Amino acid sequence: MTAGGGRVRRVGAALVGRRARQRWVHLVLGGALLMPYYLLSTVGLGALDPNQGHLRQLVLQILALFTSLPMAAITALVPTVRGLEGAAARALCAVERPEELAAGPARSWAARWRTALWFVLHLLSGGVVAGMTLAGVPFAVVLLVDFAEVPDLAGYWENRFPGWMLTGPALGLALLLLIVGTNAGCGALLARWAPVLLGPTPEERLAAAERRATVLAQRNRLARELHDSVGHALSAVGIQASAAARVLRTDPDFAAEALLAIEETARGAVAELDTVLGLLREEEDRGGGPAGPTLAGLDDLLRQLARTGVTVDVELAPGLGALPAAVSREAYRIVQEGLTNVLRHAGPAPAGLRVGLAAGRLEIELTNPLGPARLSRPSGGRGLRGIGERAAALRGGSAVGPSEDGTTWRLAVWLPVGGSAG
């Protein structure tokens, strides 16, 4: 297909294609909505001078079109008009991003005035296209049939506009092109202005962004809870099951103890999973306290790790029981994830844990040696990223990485005691 043929096809699609036909329906709908206002204006203006000549009638009809638009604008200030016009534009206006158009009522005066402007534009352009369609198409058909079939009409045009360019078929074709061109132009105009006038206002965009940020924060929180609680339990269960399988025949007592540890760990994981699901159902305050374990549950956590072969040298400062519940709970999750990383990446290696209070903040430090088989550890991942997010939510900070000599891995976290979860 040649370039010229392609242009002709694109122009034809713009004038009479599927999108143009959809927009024509939308414009005719606007013309239908205009009719009550137009008839009311016509009656009102006609009552001023009932004995009108043909010229004055034409002027009053044009004047009635424009006096009907302010009444339509006032009607469009009703909040529900915005949702109805948005639905019609989404279905028929062929907007590029229809999902951005309003789906509900106007909740502010800014949205109402924008809807009123759109309503006036829709009704005015729709009235023009509907009028041209209803009056112009039959007249164009008469012209295409040729003047010879309508002698009076032929005489009228021959007396006023003689020449070959004003033959009946040529005039009919020109009129049809004018109608479809006007329809295409008005439809494109409405499609261009629909997102501007029916789209969200700056206040609505800000509110939507805030709702989106809230949803993302909730998702991130749930992801951290699942990763730190259930992930820890699965890591411990996997190592205990592997150890039990290796000594099942040679040391049945140890295997039985490992199976009991698996049972206890799984039971605790189910309880923590129920807590996370409570967060999902917004039931975290149902029991009147913080959801999930706090630093008071460190003994159980350390006992579970001891069964996997990880021994932890613990140094806990006095007064941890008086910490705010949110801080204590987040601190427990941070310690849990840090010890789980020791279990995953360093194996049954000894670790050191220090939890202290200094200068109005809680300080957590976790270290473990890097053995010859483990010269380095990943610098990031979901667990370490989750630790950073927990610390940032309480307006604290974290640092993680190997020591300068490369023999020790260190995780350090500090949390303001007066912080609150964000």
Q: What CATH number is given to the structural domain containing 405?
A: 3.30.565.10
Nearest to 336 by CA among 230, 242, 421, 199: 230
pLDDT for residue 133: 93
User: For residue 329, what are the domain limits?
Assistant: 208-416
Q: Are residues 52 and 120 in the same domain?
A: yes
Among the listed ranges 50-59, 123-132, 255-264, which one has the minimum average pLDDT value? 50-59
The more confident residue out of 106 and 51 is 106
Q: Are residues 375 and 272 in the same domain?
A: yes
Q: Are residues 176 and 222 in the same domain?
A: no
Q: Is the dihedral of CA 56, 61, 65, 67 positive or negative?
A: positive
Q: What is d(CA 399, CA 386) in angstroms, rounded to the nearest whole number?
A: 13
Q: What is d(CA 47, CA 289) in angstroms, rounded to the nearest whole number?
A: 75
Q: Are residues 90 and 192 in the same domain?
A: yes
pLDDT for residue 154: 57
**Is 312 a member of any domain?**
yes
State yes or no: pLDDT of 290 exceeds 60: no
Domain boundary among 200, 231, 257: 200
What is the average pLDDT across 219-240?
A: 71
pLDDT for residue 300: 80
Nearest to 195 by CA among 102, 259, 111, 112: 102
What is the average pLDDT across 190-201?
A: 91
Q: What is d(CA 379, CA 86) in angstroms, rounded to the nearest whole number?
A: 50
Q: How many domains is the chain built from?
A: 2
Q: What is d(CA 50, CA 357) in angstroms, rounded to the nearest whole number?
A: 93
Q: Are residues 196 and 212 in the same domain?
A: no
pLDDT for residue 94: 86
At residue 152 the predicted structure's pLDDT band, cuts being 50, 70 and 90, is low
**Is 117 a member of any domain?**
yes
Q: Are residues 212 and 188 in the same domain?
A: no
Nearest to 62 by CA among 134, 128, 139: 128
Q: Are residues 156 and 260 in the same domain?
A: no
Domain boundary among 145, 173, 200: 200
Measure Cα distances from 338 to 22, 52, 153, 376 in Å: 60, 92, 94, 16
Contacts of 98 (CB under 8 A, 6+ apart): 89, 90
Domain boundary among 171, 200, 229: 200
Q: Are residues 134 and 16 in the same domain?
A: yes
State yes or no: pLDDT of 292 exceeds 80: no
**Is 376 a member of any domain?**
yes
Q: Are residues 366 and 230 in the same domain?
A: yes
Collapsing DSSP to helix, strand or coil, 324 comes out as coil
Q: Are residues 264 and 381 in the same domain?
A: yes
At residue 239 the predicted structure's pLDDT band, cuts being 50, 70 and 90, is low
State yes or no: pLDDT of 120 exceeds 80: yes
The more confident residue out of 300 and 395 is 395
Q: Is the dihedral of CA 404, 410, 415, 421 positive or negative?
A: positive
State yes or no: pLDDT of 285 exceeds 70: no
pLDDT for residue 287: 45
**Is 112 a member of any domain?**
yes
At residue 375 the predicted structure's pLDDT band, cuts being 50, 70 and 90, is very low
Torsion-angle region of 174 (φ positive above 0: left; ψ -120 to 50: alpha; else: beta):
alpha
**Is 92 a member of any domain?**
yes
**pLDDT tens readout for residues 93-104:** 988 888 888 888
Q: Are residues 246 and 196 in the same domain?
A: no
**Is 422 a member of any domain?**
no
**Is 421 a member of any domain?**
no
pLDDT for residue 54: 62
User: Quick check: 335 and 366 in contact, CB under 8 A?
Assistant: yes
Collapsing DSSP to helix, strand or coil, 327 comes out as helix
Which pTM does this prediction carry?
Answer: 0.58
Q: What is d(CA 372, CA 40) in angstroms, rounded to the nearest whole number?
A: 92
At residue 408 the predicted structure's pLDDT band, cuts being 50, 70 and 90, is confident
pLDDT for residue 374: 45
Q: Are residues 269 and 392 in the same domain?
A: yes
